[in-house]
Structure 1
Amino acid sequence: MKGLYCRAGVSDAEPKFVIQETSVAEVLGSHQVRVKVKACGLSPLDLKLLSDVGIQRDLIPVGREVAGVVVQVGPKVSSFQPDDEVVGILPLDSPCSGLCDAIDIDEQYLVQKPEKLSSVCAAGALRDGLHAYTALHTHARMAAGHTLLVMDGASSFGLMCIQLACYHGVKVLTTSHSPQTRSFLEQLRPSVGVQNPLVARVIPVDSGTSDLLSVVLEETGGLGLDIIIDSGVRLQDGEESEGTKFLPHKHDIISVLAVGGHWVTSHQDLQLDPPDCRLLHLKSASVSFLNPEVWTASSAQQGRYLHILKDTVEKMSAGVLRPQPEEAVPRYEATVAMEAVQRHQRTKAVVQL
């Protein structure tokens, strides 16, 4: 059988994605499950993170969000039986590519897939759901009555954050990068219950200038925001590259935080100057770094991780979380799709096997 792998480039060369022949072991491990893969999600590969945690290989497996059917279980597996439909995320050091016909994976990385939830939807949205739970519950300690700002709410991750927060009684503000995304966000409604808008206010940032501070103070009665989730920030004034022109400045983020507020950032290289730290200190506010791989890189909180995965797929099945529909591509287009994902020409892709 064949899988998709990344051959990391030398120096600054772009990584190459190739289809390679591979096979599964003849004998399953005690706690391993053999899964026939039905759908696999493709997300950007963080080669620097892999290097930082000591994973260096000539060929790196690609495609870690998988949904499929159990075909065989190890002698000590207690959670699954053959023919169970499952979904999960392969660990960072997994030797398997999710695009193989069958993979061997420890049972601790899988949860049952609800019958109503399609394999394509589960594989495509599982990572975003996990990120949203980690940001809102684990880092920000979200509670009913809080006020939240989600940067770029029309992104797949932003949309998950908005829906999850509204389900828990949080007032949500968000930003939009175009008139089309602004209209989309303003028309968001829950699938069940009272059909009030999910977003209390959409703040346009497509003009290059933003009324972020004035709008937030108006919406919060001058108190500021309890939680802010960014999709990156600008570290310096005048930083106007194509990838940063819509991002807020770090000082703007800190300025709109409430006393005791939480800022959850995706910016890996965030640098705070002494005035920024002083303002955070005065507000007794906190900054948390959102590392989506922390759950599979460490087994310290495995039970909580499985609870998050289970709750995510159950809420997707019930319609509480409605991810943006992702059109599945066939396996022969996986290499091209992954190259586009890695170059950030598309946010993600789902391959149907």
Structure 2
Amino acid sequence: MSQTSVKTVIIEEFGGPEVMKLAEREVGEPGPGEIRIRHKACGLNFIDVYQRTGLYPLQLPTPLGMEAAGVVEAVGEGVTHLKPGDRAAYASMPPGSYCEARVMPAAQVCPLPDGISFEEGAAMMLKGLTVQYLFRRTTPIAKGDTVLFHAAAGGVGLIACQWARSEGITLIGTAGTDEKCALAKENGATHVINYRTENFEEKVKEITGGAGVDVVMDSIGKDTFEGSTNCLKPFGMMITFGNASGKVPPVDVGMLAAKGSIKLTRPTLFTHIADHATCQQMAQDLFEKVTSGAVKIHIDQRFPLDRVADAHRALEARQTTGATILEV
């Protein structure tokens, strides 16, 4: 068995950005259903922070990172959708993308079209597939519907703004600065709200003439949950898909009736992509949006792998816009 030593970011305890360490690890040959991939770039996402802090506990020690793009070096028995030399990208369990190369399950690794760069691939898979399931797989959303989207200038948000514009969906985006609001507007948000200077709940009612929105897509969590549910039309759908401000407290389900028979769901990307064929089809849907020009992937921050702690600090401080990548 050939083995190669590669740089890999690991944690041995939960905590702040300082717990991440750059270690040398051996990478061998892929087994059945696996590939070995040499990374060109790695993505950064809030789930990485949740795993680092222990909000989403992992067995320690563990590598971190859920998203990357690179070149397939070897494939194991039974892998038919990839071959050595293929360009590929993924957002996938288990964690371990913050590295130069790795052996991993092949099912959720997707062939990357030539028209999409490795950097774009690393920046778009987790965020873009999240947008795909939010707009295509969670609740019916049609042209003319109105969506409230929090953190509209972030990596997921900028893709969502463009996706909504490409499908004739009215998107009301919130962000924490006037500059971020302007960025969301440039990328397709129909209306923007600076939640630090305006009450987003009141502003949504004003924008919609008191009707409210059909769907809320909320990755902020605790700080925006109650106000978001107040923004929904009767029978509207509240999608809470992240915890940037902390976990949503326990919910009295009677609240759903009191606010107009509204619906509530807490999806995760990894449930949606667990099936190989579904994952590949979702990726094709995303790739078509990007290669057609309907969605542009904004990479606004780049950090070398050995500065991953600085990247996490910037993300947690909400100092980032668009996507952030780690250069390998």
TM range (shorter): 0.7 to 0.9
Matching residue's letter, 1:200: T
Q: Match for residue 282 of structure 2?
A: 308
TM-score under structure 2 normalisation? 0.84
Alpha-carbon spacing, 1:166–1:18, altered in 2? closer, same or farther (3 Å): same
Does residue 7 of structure 1 match 2:42? no
Displacement of 1:341 in angstroms is 4.3
Q: Match for residue 201 of structure 2?
A: 212
Q: Paired residue for 2:248, among 258, 269, 280?
A: 269
Aligned to 2:158, the other structure's residue is in SS state helix
* Aligned-partner Cα distance in 2 for 1:116–1:13: 37
* Aligned-partner Cα distance in 2 for 1:220–1:323: 29
Alpha-carbon spacing, 1:114–1:262, altered in 2? closer, same or farther (3 Å): same
* Aligned-partner Cα distance in 2 for 1:274–1:91: 31
Aligned to 2:127, the other structure's residue is in SS state helix
* Aligned-partner Cα distance in 1 for 2:319–2:63: 21
Structure 2: gaps spanning 5 or more residues: 1-5
Does residue 199 of structure 1 match 2:199? no
Aligned residue runs from structure 1 range 184-195, under 5 A: 184-188=183-187
CA contact (8 A) 1:4 1:335 kept: no
Q: Which moved more, 1:268-277 or 1:164-173?
A: 268-277
Displacement of 1:138 in angstroms is 2.4
Q: Match for residue 228 of structure 1?
A: 216
Q: Match for residue 16 of structure 1?
A: 19
In our comparison, the structure showing a higher alpha carbon Rg is 1
Alpha-carbon spacing, 1:274–1:115, altered in 2? closer, same or farther (3 Å): closer
* Aligned-partner Cα distance in 2 for 1:33–1:115: 20
Aligned to 1:22, the other structure's residue is in SS state strand
Aligned residue runs from structure 1 range 228-267, under 5 A: 228-234=216-222, 247-248=223-224, 250=226, 252-265=227-240, 266-267=242-243
CA contact (8 A) 2:184 2:192 kept: yes
Q: Match for residue 38 of structure 1?
A: 40
* Aligned-partner Cα distance in 2 for 1:123–1:270: 33
Q: Paired residue for 1:287, among 261, 264, 282?
A: 264
CA contact (8 A) 1:134 1:290 kept: no
Does residue 332 of structure 1 match 2:306? yes
Aligned to 2:104, the other structure's residue is in SS state strand
Deviations for 1:223-254, whole angstroms, at most 9, x for unmatched residues? 321111123255xxxxxxxxxxxx5460x323
Q: Which moved more, 1:81-90 or 1:311-320?
A: 311-320
* Aligned-partner Cα distance in 2 for 1:99–1:277: 40
Displacement of 1:342 in angstroms is 6.0
RMSD: 2.7
Displacement of 1:285 in angstroms is 1.4
CA contact (8 A) 2:35 2:103 kept: yes
* Aligned-partner Cα distance in 1 for 2:312–2:207: 41
Matching residue's letter, 1:253: S
| Structure with the bigger percentage of strand | 2
CA contact (8 A) 1:140 1:264 kept: no
Matching residue's letter, 1:129: G
CA contact (8 A) 2:66 2:97 kept: yes
Matching residue's letter, 1:5: I
- The higher-RCO structure (CA 8 Å, 6+ apart) is 1
Matching residue's letter, 1:232: I
Alpha-carbon spacing, 1:143–1:21, altered in 2? closer, same or farther (3 Å): same
Aligned to 2:43, the other structure's residue is in SS state strand
Matching residue's letter, 2:201: L
CA contact (8 A) 2:213 2:232 kept: yes
Aligned to 2:72, the other structure's residue is in SS state strand
Alpha-carbon spacing, 1:141–1:107, altered in 2? closer, same or farther (3 Å): same
Structure 1: gaps spanning 5 or more residues: 189-197, 235-246
Q: Paired residue for 2:74, among 53, 62, 72?
A: 72
Deviations for 1:76-133, whole angstroms, at most 9, x for unmatched residues? 22111221100012313x5xx3243322122211111111211112112222112222
Aligned to 1:260, the other structure's residue is in SS state strand
CA contact (8 A) 2:256 2:262 kept: no
Alpha-carbon spacing, 1:165–1:335, altered in 2? closer, same or farther (3 Å): same
Aligned residue runs from structure 1 range 170-189, under 5 A: 170-188=169-187
* Aligned-partner Cα distance in 2 for 1:149–1:325: 23
Deviations for 1:208-230, whole angstroms, at most 9, x for unmatched residues? x42633x4345434432111112
Matching residue's letter, 1:46: Y
Q: Paired residue for 2:31, among 23, 29, 32?
A: 29
Alpha-carbon spacing, 1:178–1:334, altered in 2? closer, same or farther (3 Å): closer
Alpha-carbon spacing, 1:134–1:49, altered in 2? closer, same or farther (3 Å): farther
TM-score under structure 1 normalisation? 0.78
Alpha-carbon spacing, 1:342–1:158, altered in 2? closer, same or farther (3 Å): closer
Aligned to 1:154, the other structure's residue is in SS state coil
Matching residue's letter, 1:258: K
